[in-house]
Amino acid sequence: MSNLPRSVLSEHFLERMKGRRLVSAVFTTFRFEPGFFEAEVLPVFFDIALSHAPAIKLVQLEEALVSLPGSIAVYYDAHGLVAEGGTAKLDTRRIPIRHPTGIFHPKNVLALVEDVEPGPDGKHGRTLLCACASANLTRAGWWENVEAAHVEEIAEGAHSPLRTSLLRYLDALVAAAEGRRVNDELRATHRAIRDLREFLRGTTQRQETFADVRILPSFHAGEASLPDFLEDATGKLLRGLCLEVISPYFDEGGESAPLKELLTRFAPRETRVFLPRNDRGEALCSEPLFTWLSELPEVSWGTLPSDLLRLGKSEEARQRTVHAKVYRFFEPKRRGREFIFVGSPNLTTAAFRLTGRGGNWETGFLVEVTSESRPDWWLETETRRPPVFSPREETEGAATDGGTQLMLRYHWDTQAAFAFWADATPSPSLSVRHGGVSLLELSSLAPRTWVPLAVEQAQRLETTLHSTSLLEVVGEGPQPGFLLVQEEGMFKRPTLLLDLSAADILRYWALLTVEQRAAFIEARANITGDDDPLITRLAPLPVEATLFDRFAGIFHAFECLDKHVRDALAQKRSREADYRLFGKKYDSLGSLLERVLKDSRAGKGERVDHYVVTLCAKQLLRELGRTAPEYWAEHRDDVRALEAQLVEAAPLREALASGNTEMPAFLDWFERWFIQRAEALPEEEQS
C-alpha cells in the first residue's frame, strides 16, 4: 500500500507563508466556530510571536489586523454556527450565506499574500494561495479530524487556468450574501473579495489544449454536477482507471445514486469506498447500503491505516473522525496517470447536484498528480460486516432546525443598528436574547430590507457586543436560532484589553515592527478575572523618567505616528489610518488625548508635558488636513471630535500662563512657531 500524503493543515499554511505576509483573505465554511477561528486559525497567517494567554493573544492579533493592507472575510452557512466555540471579537467580516436548495458547503482559503522582501524592481511580489479542503473552520476540522486539502498558487500576472472560475465564484459569493445581482458598487462593499478580484483581473486565462502533457488544475465552483465537471475537465481520460472514494456521508436508503453515476460514467476497473466508523466501531451508513455496495461487481468497502485514525501515538488513543472528501482515479502499481479531486462534496445526491438545479453548494480542485513512484491503493479492503449500523445525515451537528433568517448589523462608527429579514415574506414577531435575557423585541420586519433599529435598541446591542456577538433568536421556529452580529466601523470599537498611560502610548507609537509591538503589549497587559488571575508573561515595567516622558520622546513619537498614517494613506490602507487617528484602541490619538486630560484633572504628571502633547496633536491635525484633504473631508465628524478634545485641553495653557505676567505673550509666540512645521534646509546650506 502506498504512503498517504500526510500533513497538518496549519503547518502546511505556515510553510506556505514563510517569507510572505498577508494582504487580504476570504474563508468559506459550512460550520463556523468564530472564537476558534480568531484564536487558532488566523495566527497561522501572521508571522509574529503571540502570547499563550488568550486575552493578550487577541490584543496582539487586533494590532496585526490594524496593519493589514486589506481585509479578512468569512462566508459561512447561516445554520452552521457553533456557539460553543466562543464569540467573535476581531475586525473580520462574518457574512452568513443561505443556499436556497441545500447547504452552503464550500471550505476554501483564498489568501492574497506578498513577499516580505522586495524584488529587483523594488516591488513586493504578490501571490494568491487557493485552497480547497474538507475542513470546516472549527476545532474538529483544524485539529482533530482526518481531513484533506489541496493548495494552488497563482503568481502575480500569471497565465492561470483558474482565473475565470475563481472570478465567477467570488461574484457568486457576493450575490448570495446580498440576495441580488452583482455590480461594481456591490462588489466594493465586500472589500476582501474586491482585493482578490483586482489581483485576478491582472492575470490571464490559460485554456486547456490537446498539446498539454498534463491536465491543468481545475476549480469546481459548484455550478455543474460533480460528474459533469470531472468529465468536462478530463474528457475520456478517467474511463477504465481504478477509483477510490473517501467520504464520511452517504444518502439515506439502500442505494447510492452518486456512486452509480460514477460507475456508469467512468466505468472504473475496480472501486473501493471508505467505510466510516465511529469510535465504538459502528458503521456510519445504513445496513441496506452496506449490503448493496458489497454485492456490486468490482466494488468493495475499504479502510484507512489504523495509525492515521488514532488521535495520538498510543494504541489506546481515541479514534479520529474521518471527514475528508477525496475522489481518486489511478492505475495501481503502474506508471500512469493519477487524478485526484479534493474538496467539500460528500458521496450524496445533494453534493453531486444530481437533481438538476437543486443541491448543495460545493467546491473542489481536480489535479493530476505526478510521482516517480508507482501509485498504490490508499484503502485496504474491508470484508468484515459491522455488527452495528448508525447512519447519519450530512447536516449532522448543524443548527439546521434552529437557524434563523434574521441578520443584525451594528456600526461602531455611527452607533446605528439594522435588522434584515432574509425570507421572501414578512417576519413573525421575534425576540433576540443573550443568556436567556431579552435584548431586542422586534415586530414584523419587511422582507429583504435593512430596517434601522431604534436608538435605545442600538444602545442595548452595543452594550451586549462588548461581551459577545453571538445571540439567540426566539419566535421563528420550534427551536431558538443563533446569529452572529455583523460589526462595521470596528476602528471605533473600544479596545479589547489595554488601558495604557500617556507615556506608554507615546512609546508604543515609536516602536518600529509588529514583533516589537506584540512584545510591548504582552509586557504591559495586566489582566485580572476569574479565569486568569494574572497572565502577564513579564513583570510590569518600572515607571521612570525616560526620553519618552520628556520633550524629545514626545516629538519622536508623534513623528512616528505621522509617518505611520502618511504611509498607510499613500499605500491605500485607510483603515489603518482610521485606527491610529480616530479609533477607540489603546494607542489611538483620541485615546492619548483622553488619557492626558484625565491625568491633568487628577494632578498626575507634568503640566508642561501635557501641554506639549496637545500642541503636537494640533500640529499633526493641521498638517494632515493640509496634505490629505480628501481623507480629512471623509472624516469631518471624527476630526471635529479630536478638535473638541483639544478645546477641552485649553485649561492646560491657562494653568501654565497663570502667575507670570510674561508667560501669555511667550506662549503666543511659542505656539505660533511650534505649530508650523519646519522645512529642511537646502543641501548646499546643510554644512
pLDDT number for residue 538: 44
Highest mean pLDDT: which range of 58-72, 282-296, 328-342, 497-511: 282-296
Write out the residue range of the structural domain in which residue 331 sits.
Answer: 218-382
Instruction: Judge whether 497 lies within some domain.
Output: no
pLDDT number for residue 313: 64
Total of domains in the chain: 4
Instruction: Judge whether 330 lies within some domain.
Output: yes
The three cell numbers locating residue 603: 494632578
Arithmetic mean of pLDDT, 202-228: 84
186 and 319 assigned to the same domain: no
Task: Name the one residue in this structure whose C-alpha cell is 493589514.
Answer: 68
Q: Which residues of 278-298 are buried (b: 16+ CB within 10 A; e: fewer)?
A: eeeeebbbbeebbebbeeeee
134 and 255 assigned to the same domain: no
pLDDT band for position 534 (50/70/90)? very low
pLDDT band for position 549 (50/70/90)? low
- Partner residues linked to 246 by β-bridges: 326
Cβ contacts of 164 within 8 Å, gap of 6 or more = 205
What 3 state SS string does 16-49 have?
HCCCEEEEEEEEEECCECHHHHHHHHHHHHCCCC
CB-CB contact of 275 with 287 (8 Å): no
How far is it, in rounded angstroms, from Cα 470 to Cα 83? 7
pLDDT number for residue 541: 44
Query: pLDDT tens for residues 85-100?
Result: 788 999 999 999 999 9
Query: pLDDT tens for residues 412-468?
Result: 999 999 999 999 999 999 999 998 899 999 999 999 999 999 999 999 999 999 989
What is the enclosing helix (H) or strand (E) of 566?
A: helix 551-570
Instruction: Judge whether 388 lies within some domain.
Output: no
18 and 123 assigned to the same domain: yes
pLDDT number for residue 532: 44
In sign, the C-alpha dihedral spanning 343, 344, 349, 353 is: negative
471 and 513 assigned to the same domain: no
Q: Of 205, 229, 261, which closes a domain? A: 205
How far is it, in rounded angstroms, from Cα 261 to Cα 610? 76
Q: Which residues of 377-401 are buried (b: 16+ CB within 10 A; e: fewer)?
A: bbbeebeeebeeeebbebbeebbbe
474 and 339 assigned to the same domain: no
pLDDT number for residue 279: 84
610 and 650 assigned to the same domain: yes
Instruction: Judge whether 495 lies within some domain.
Output: no
pLDDT number for residue 215: 85
Query: pLDDT tens for residues 44-53?
Result: 999 888 888 7
Question: CATH no. for residue 237?
Answer: 3.30.870
**Closest among 389, 453, 395 to 420, alpha carbons compared:** 453
309 and 415 assigned to the same domain: no
The answer, yes or no, to whether residue 629 has pLDDT greater than 50, is yes
606 and 678 assigned to the same domain: yes
How far is it, in rounded angstroms, from Cα 107 to Cα 444? 34
358 and 309 assigned to the same domain: yes
In percent, the amount of the chain with pLDDT more than 90 equals: 63
pLDDT number for residue 308: 85
Query: pLDDT tens for residues 248-270?
Result: 999 988 999 999 999 999 999 99
How far is it, in rounded angstroms, from Cα 587 to Cα 273? 56
Higher pLDDT, 495 or 271: 271
Mean pLDDT for the chain overall = 88
pLDDT number for residue 545: 53
pLDDT band for position 315 (50/70/90)? low
Instruction: Judge whether 120 lies within some domain.
Output: yes
Long-range CB contact pairs, 596-603, < 8 A, 24+: 596/502, 596/649, 597/645, 597/648, 597/649, 599/501, 599/502, 600/649, 600/651, 600/652
468 and 513 assigned to the same domain: no
Cβ contacts of 190 within 8 Å, gap of 6 or more = 73, 93, 95, 173, 174, 177
**Closest among 614, 686, 617, 601 to 653, alpha carbons compared:** 614
The three cell numbers locating residue 258: 452518486
**DSSP letter string over 162-204?**
THHHHHHHHHHHHHHHHTS---HHHHHHSHHHHHHHHHHHTSE
CB-CB contact of 461 with 486 (8 Å): no
Instruction: Judge whether 26 lies within some domain.
Output: yes
Ramachandran angles phi, psi of 379, nearest 5°: -100, 135
Total residue length of the chain = 687
Arithmetic mean of pLDDT, 212-233: 90
Distances from the Cα of 658 to the Cαs of 600, 647, 649, 666, in angstroms?
16, 18, 15, 12
Instruction: Judge whether 489 lies within some domain.
Output: no
Provide the whole-model pTM.
Answer: 0.89
524 and 447 assigned to the same domain: no
How far is it, in rounded angstroms, from Cα 100 to Cα 176? 10
Continuous H helices in 408-513:
455-465, 502-510
Lowest mean pLDDT among 184-188, 407-411, 501-505, 586-590: 501-505
Instruction: Judge whether 491 lies within some domain.
Output: no
Task: Name the one residue in this structure whose C-alpha cell is 498539454.
Answer: 212
Terminal Cα-to-Cα distance of the chain (whole angstroms): 77
Cβ contacts of 469 within 8 Å, gap of 6 or more = 34, 87, 88, 89, 94, 484, 485, 487
